[in-house]
Amino acid sequence: MIVSDATPNLGGITESLGYVFKDKGLLEEAITHKSYYHENRETAHSNNERLEFLGDAVLGLLVVEYLFLQEKQYPESVLAKVKSYLVSETVLADIASSICLGKYLLLGKGEEATGGREKKSILADALESVIGAVYLDSGYENTKNIVLNFFKEKIDSAIQSGEFFDYKTELQEKTQLLFGILPEYKVIRQQGEEHKRIFTVAVYLNGEKLGTASGSRKKEAEALAAKKALEKIC
């Protein structure tokens, strides 16, 4: 689909994915940002927006199917929250960065100059495009294996930590409604080396400690502390 000297060596992507495309044109389309396409109409015959649309739908189905088949039967509200979290721009961009997808993208000069290879929105869209391309190239089962290879740990972690659920917002809304005041979060302990730090956070309401929790990130610890506080005041 794309015949251009600018097309990068795609061996790194196939190695990271653990999948070799039968139709390399699909992969080339998946890494072509619209900014590159608009600047190179003679050589780039398409961009990745259609594949992104497809990949978004395929990814959503795969995530929901995995959650639906878990031994614990989660209600629809939980399924929706976990899915929304896992297909968020932040999570997708994080996975795209882990396979160095950014360095393979075909970008226009403007996007290149403004750090497009590291933009979360571009990385997230590109990952969805690659998922769409894999689906067209090899079908559902192969795509599921590849997606779960990257997402399973994040799915399990999200369920275990409750990171997908906005406990902080719910706590704020309840304390305002019931008591007319907002909760306050304080880091009461930090342990471990900088790259393996554990934060312990306590949440207070009008000076009274309602919950304490620990996590590898301050936001995670705050969310878990808020969850404990909700259990106490409900």
139 φ, ψ (degrees, to nearest 5): 95, -175
Is 94 considered catalytic here?
no
What are the boundaries of each domain within the chain? 11-161, 167-233
Contacts 24+ apart (CB under 8 A), 109-113: 109/39, 110/35, 111/33, 111/35, 111/36
154-198: pLDDT as tens digits? 888 877 766 667 788 889 999 999 999 999 999 999 998 776 789
In angstroms, the CA 175 to CA 43 distance is 59
For the chain, the C-alpha Rg in angstroms (whole number) is: 21
Residue 23 DSSP symbol: S
The domain 11-161 is classified under which CATH number: 1.10.1520.10, 3.40.50.12500, 2.60.40.1180, 2.40.30.30?
A: 1.10.1520.10
The percent of residues in the chain predicted with pLDDT above 90, rounded, is: 65
At residue 143, does pLDDT exceed 70?
yes
Exactly one of 56, 125, 163, 220 is catalytic; name it: 56
At residue 66, does pLDDT exceed 80?
yes
Residue 198 DSSP symbol: E
Task: Locate 203 and state its tokens.
Answer: 């949440």
| 3-state DSSP helix/strand/coil % of the chain, to nearest 5 | 60, 10, 25
Quote the pLDDT of residue 217.
85
- Name the residue among 85, 228, 223, 226 with its Cα closest to residue 158: 85
141, 142, 143, 144 alpha-carbon torsion, rounded to 10°: 50
What does CATH list as the number for 167-233?
3.30.160.20
Is 5 considered catalytic here?
no
91-123: pLDDT as tens digits? 999 999 999 999 999 999 999 999 999 999 999
Exactly one of 128, 137, 163, 220 is catalytic; name it: 128
